[in-house]
Structure 1
Amino acid sequence: MLDKNLLRGTAILTASIFISKILGIIYIFPFQAMVGLEGLALYTYGYNPYTIFLSLSTLGIPIAISKFISKYNALEDHQTVQRLFRSGIIVMSITGLVAFSLLFFLAEPIARQFLNTDDLGSNSISDAVFTIRMVSTALLIIPIMASIRGYFQGFGMMGPTAISQVIEQLVRIVFILVLSFLILEVWNGEISSAVGVAMFGAFVGAAGALIVLILYYVKNKDSLIKMNETAPAKEKIPLKKMYKELLSYALPISFVGLAIPLYQWIDLTSFNSAMTQVGYAMEEAEMYLGAFTQAVHKLILIPVSIATAMSLTIIPTVTKAFTTKDYDTLQKQITQTFQIILFFALPASAGLILLSDSAYGSLYSLSDIQIGGELLRYYAPVAILFSLFAVCTSLLQGIDRQKFSVIALFVGLLFKYLFNTPFITWFGPIGAVLATGVGYSLSLGIILWTIGKYGPYNYKFILKRLLLIGMFTAIMGIVVILIRNGLGIFLPLETKVNAFTILIVSTTAGLAAYMFLTIRSGLAGQILGQRFNFLKKKKQRATQ
């Protein structure tokens, strides 16, 4: 029964994470239509520092709280659980307040890292300062909210976290879109005002989620207190000792979670100046920055979200196999994880490369298609690296080698920092994409070596799978090219309807070709059969 409840809870939490991520991707389409690429650049000026300060304010402690509450519950030391929960709320309240104060009062120095008084772009330093200060308010709530989520997860209660995540995202998105529309279309306000007020949506969404969590706590408070009162007395563990143990686990997780924000921070501090050095106007540089860090970035996160959501359920099995030294199971589970990532991410990235113009034009703006389409074409392959990095760092946690994740990330960031500006001056805006891709490749190389050495894991089989998936992806690509070019004769990319038609028809044809090949060959059944039993049946019929 316990395993059944755990699996059910994990499925609920995975589904909520997936829904939240998809909602977080989809809302950017109408938002960009209202504020444009310059507005997205301003949005990034505020959101990126906020993300970094948020990670620093929590330090991964809420995740660690979940782990250790589960541990002390298993030991029936419920008094320690309650002490940890209460102290965690206090600590997160203090760190949230400190982080808010720092971000709020350092908003201008931070903004000057991205812009200066000589800039002639659409966004001024005062616009960036306003945006940063509006989003900083969320730091007062989110660390506390994350601690409560960790508390519930420690009891195996995934529902509160799942529901609150979806509510948080829905409230935030509705606030952003409604207020942006009112400011721009009804009250004839400025784009900078719309973006700044929209950033306050992070606070509003967090408040909605916190209310949900408080209601759950009030509903379950009596049973939790009763458990505490009936628990046998245990030796009182010093808080200092508890937090030392918490931080040893939490800090690597927190740092790795900063990967994308830190890469984007480097872009924010170097992209505009490097672009102007090679002849781009500041306004044009900001348009490229907005497309790169928000519009195009959100698109490539779609295959990343699908791949990681499908594979993360395997991580607990990896941990158990490594702990019990069941290396045969470990080999199988790691292989399964890699297969799922490649099965989804490779064709999805190929589709985005081939349909970059129609994808960007139909979802965003035809007027920006030259900028967005070009960036998407080069950025799409990086989605594969993002997917592998996210899951491989989780695998390293499973085999208790998370410190190598930190080393790998540092190496990648160092390359990005050193070569971002030179790459932009050599290759134009595509240089920033290339610097990110090479940085992630270096990090991934270190992580894959670590998994192979300490897993231990043999990559021979997955390389064969990669060749087979690559072959099917190539055939799919040929189908997509033929359909896209054929439709392009009659439907030039001059209207969103034409762009959307080409995107849907080409994607459908490519997906049909890919699924036909993988199902008929039995590959889909072998990789996804446990999740979709009908694929195994297809495979059996195909081999009879």
Structure 2
Amino acid sequence: MANKLLRGTVQLSSASFISKILGFIYMIPLGMMIGSTGNALYRYAYGPYAIMISLSTMGIPLAISKMISKYNELERQDVVQRIFKSGILLMLASGFTAFLVLYMLSPLMARIVVNDSSSGNSLESVIFNIKLVSFALIIVPPMSFLRGYFQGHQTMGPPAVSTVVEQIARVIFILAGVFVTIKFLHLSVTAAVGVATFAAFIGAVFGIAVLIKQVWKRRDHIFSPAAAREGSPDISIREIFKEIIQHSIPFVVMGMSLPLYQNIDSYSINRILMHIGFKQHDAEDINGVISYAQVLVLLPVSITTGLSVSIIPNMTKSFVANNYKLMRKQMNQSFLVLMTIMLPAAFGMFALAEPLYYIMFPNATPEMGGGLLRVYAPAGLLIAIYGVTTSILQTVNQQKKAIAGLAAGLIVKLALNFILPNYYPESGFIIATYFGYLTSLTVNIIVINRNIGINLKNIKFRLISLIASTVIMVLVVSAVKNLLMALFFPKATYVNELIVVIIGVLAGILAFGGVLYALNFTRIKKYIKMKQ
């Protein structure tokens, strides 16, 4: 069980991480080709698209994963097959409906961000790009369903490969398409951004193709007549649809937690800062720097996404079997994996914030960016723990309380966004994010303790050794960074900062790994001596 959980976590986490890395890297050359105006146009199209994706898929991968795991545990293969057949039809209808809604509403959405007298992107170009990106909505929902189907069977390979293939195809199409459009065809930036937005459709085609191939390989099992169970009440398609929707609505609400936090900042920072005396240009500069810092902070968080996904079917099985002891064991194991990844990642970023931000975004106010990234970096740990605890609540059917926790956190975040910038104009929004996630996380932990019970006694030493290793790592990395910048690389150039980051990362890996090994090796020797 432990090996299966770990293998599934590694597969999905690796796929998510690769996808996030690709999604991060392509932004740099794309920005160079289409410029800031083109990048704004690109974001105008992807904003409503991201919302429609959330609404049209309704958390289907995790919901389907939970349902299939449940009925497999109950040995209802007939229901599992009906879930597949009826669910794929539901997602096809959902995707086509979402496509029509976004396509038809594109003029209204475009007018929210630009107007006819705008000196930047025209109204027509925004409408054009929103319409192009809407086509991806036809494919993404059924693709999400198939990923959830495989995850429910604890077969994490196909959804992991599909995720990576989708992103690779999308990135290649974006970069190659935009380059050809501008350099060879000499078309407008609007046309180039149109190619970039249409890449969502191309990526989805490749992603779903991988899953369809795997379904075809398993067609005898998926489509074979299921043996009827005597004495068991039949479950209608209507009941299956109802259960899918009941399970998936909480998932979409929780899945939108990050976008909601991000949008609170995006849509409030400018007005709040201007209200306290900032000029619009300066306010937008701070808004952009916080956005860039956010991208870096969420990069290591993406590694733990697979943990949140893979924990659901395993803990659901234990919950259905009323095996709370095993649930606590699975929860502790997941928490250890998360802490092993996020502690060194978040606090390593904290120690190397200034040079790291410089090499990633050298043209985006690096002086301010490094300081704000240092403030923001540890938040990655909170966000990752929140994601896993939310998944745990969903396995024990406490979705409503998880949603209440999210709502409470968002209210705290929004309220503090208006208060803290009066005292901390640049970092106040980030501090508000900490308090928001802490509020939501506190609710989650209280509910988990009441329903499952939290007992960290068995992993206490490993947690202490991870924290101690992280503290030593931060001290070593900070010392190495300061020494290098003082003696060898006093001037901030791209090459100098890159060298500092590389040496700092290597020093951090050696310090963290060395201390962790030494602490655990000492404990093992002590244990052997006691046994003798």
CA–CA distance in structure 2, aligned partners of residues 79 and 256 of structure 1: 30
1:473 aligns with 2:470: yes
Question: Normalised by the size of structure 2, how large is the TM-score?
Answer: 0.85
Picking from 331, 337, 340, the partner of 2:337 is 340
C-alpha contact 2:154 2:313 (8 A) present in aligned 1: no
1:445-524 paired onto structure 2 within 5 Å: 445-458=442-455, 469-489=466-486, 490-522=488-520
Alpha-carbon displacement from aligned partner over 1:9-43 (angstroms, at most 9, x marks no partner): 66544543343333333333443454566655554
The answer to whether the Cα contact below 8 Å between 1:300 and 1:380 also exists between their aligned partners in 2 is yes
Superposed displacement of residue 446, structure 1: 0.8
Q: Counterpart of 2:225 in 1: which secondary structure?
A: helix
Q: SS of the counterpart of 1:242?
A: helix
Partner in structure 2 of residue 532 of structure 1: none
Q: Does 1:416 align with 2:448?
A: no
Matches within 5 A, 1:99-138: 99-113=98-112, 128-138=126-136
CA distance, structure 2, for counterparts of residue 100 and residue 246 of structure 1: 21
SS class of match (1:168): helix
Q: Deviations over 1:345-392 (max 9, x none)?
A: 233222222222211222232553134323322221210111111111
Query: Offset at 1:512?
Result: 1.3
Counterparts in 2 of 1:77 and 1:539: CA distance versus 1, 3 Å: closer
Q: Deviations over 1:100-119 (max 9, x none)?
A: 22223333444555567787
| One-letter amino acid matched to 2:251 | I
Cα contact 1:76–1:232 (8 A) shared by 2 = no
Quote the residue 1:148 is aligned against: 146
Structure-1 residue corresponding to 2:47: 48
Residue 386 of structure 2: aligned partner: 389
**Cα distance change of structure 1 residues 472 and 37 upon mapping to structure 2, 3 Å threshold:** farther
Deviation digits for residues 385-411 of structure 1, max 9, x if unmatched? 111111111222333323221111111
Aligned counterpart in structure 2 of residue 251 of structure 1, from 249, 252, 259 = 249
Deviations 1:461-500 (A, max 9, x none): 8788666544433332222222212221322454221111
**More displaced, 19-28 or 447-456?**
19-28
Alignment-derived partner of residue 533 in structure 1? none
Name the residue aligned to 2:240: 242
d(CA) in 2 for partners of 1:196, 1:425: 40
**Identity percentage of aligned residues:** 38
Check if 1:369 corresponds to 2:369.
no
Residue 200 of structure 1 aligns to a residue in which SS? helix
Instruction: Determine which of 299, 304, 309 is the counterpart of 1:302.
Output: 299
How many residue pairs get aligned? The number is 529
Counterpart CA distance in 2 for 1:267 and 1:42 is: 19
Measured after TM superposition, the shift of residue 316 of structure 1 is 5.1
CA distance in 2, matches of 1:473, 1:74: 40
SS in 2 for 1:456: coil
Pick one of 398, 402, 413 that aligns with 2:399.
402
Q: Give the aligned partner of residue 162 of structure 1.
A: 160
Against the structure 1 CA distance between its residues 143 and 36, is the aligned structure 2 distance closer, same or farther, given a 3 Å change threshold? Answer: same
The answer on 1:94 being equivalent to 2:71 is no
CA distance in 1 between counterparts of 2:412 and 2:250 reads 20
The CA distance in 2 between the partners of 1:105 and 1:235, in whole Å, is 43
Task: Report the alpha carbon displacement of residue 456 of structure 1 after superposing the two structures with TM.
Answer: 0.9
- Contact kept? 1:41, 1:290, Cα under 8 Å: no
Question: Could you tell me how far apart the structure 2 residues matched to 1:300 and 1:89 are?
Answer: 35
Counterparts of 2:121 and 2:422, CA distance in 1: 23
**Which moves more between the two structures, 263-272 or 504-513?**
263-272
Shift of 1:68: 3.5
Equivalent position amino acid for 2:59 in 1: G
Q: Which digits, 9 at most, give the CA deviation of each residue in 1:236-280, with x for residues without a partner? A: 532222222222222212211111111222233323333443455
Q: 1:437 to 1:86 in 2, by over 3 A?
A: same
In 2: Cα distance, 1:74 partner to 1:473 partner: 40
Distance 1:538 1:303 in 2: 34
Aligned-residue offset at 1:8: 6.0
- Confirm or deny: 8 A CA contact 1:271 1:424 kept in the other structure: no
Residue 530 of structure 1 corresponds to: none
Q: Give the equivalent residue in structure 1 for 2:173.
A: 175
Provide the C-alpha distance between the structure 2 equivalents of 1:287 and 1:182, rounded to a whole number of angstroms.
31
Alpha-carbon separation, structure 2, partners of 1:362 and 1:488: 15
Q: Structure 2 matches for 1:8-19, cutoff 5 A? A: 12-19=11-18
Q: Which amino acid aligns with 2:87?
A: G
Matched AA of 1:396: L
Which residue does 2:375 correspond to in 1? Answer: 378
Deviation at 1:283? Answer: 4.8
Unaligned runs of 5+ in 2: none
In structure 1, list runs of 5 or more residues that go unmatched. 527-535
Match of 2:433 in 1: 436
Alpha-carbon distance in 2 for matches of 1:29, 1:177 = 10
Q: Is the 8 A contact 2:351 2:478 kept in 1?
A: yes
Instruction: Provide the C-alpha distance between the structure 1 equivalents of 2:277 and 2:124, rounded to a whole number of angstroms.
Output: 25
Q: Give the direction of change, closer, same or farther, for the CA distance of 1:307–1:449 in structure 2 (3 Å limit).
A: same
Root-mean-square deviation over aligned CA pairs: 3.8
Aligned partners of 1:432 and 1:117: how far apart in 2? 32
Match for 2:502: what amino acid? I
Letter of the 1:214 partner, please give it: I
The structural deviation recorded for 1:433 is 2.0
**Amino acid paired to 1:448:** I
Distance 1:9 1:394, change over 3 A: closer
Contact 2:5 / 2:310 at 8 angstroms: preserved in 1?
A: no
Distance 1:67 1:313, change over 3 A: closer
TM-score, scaled relative to structure 1 = 0.83
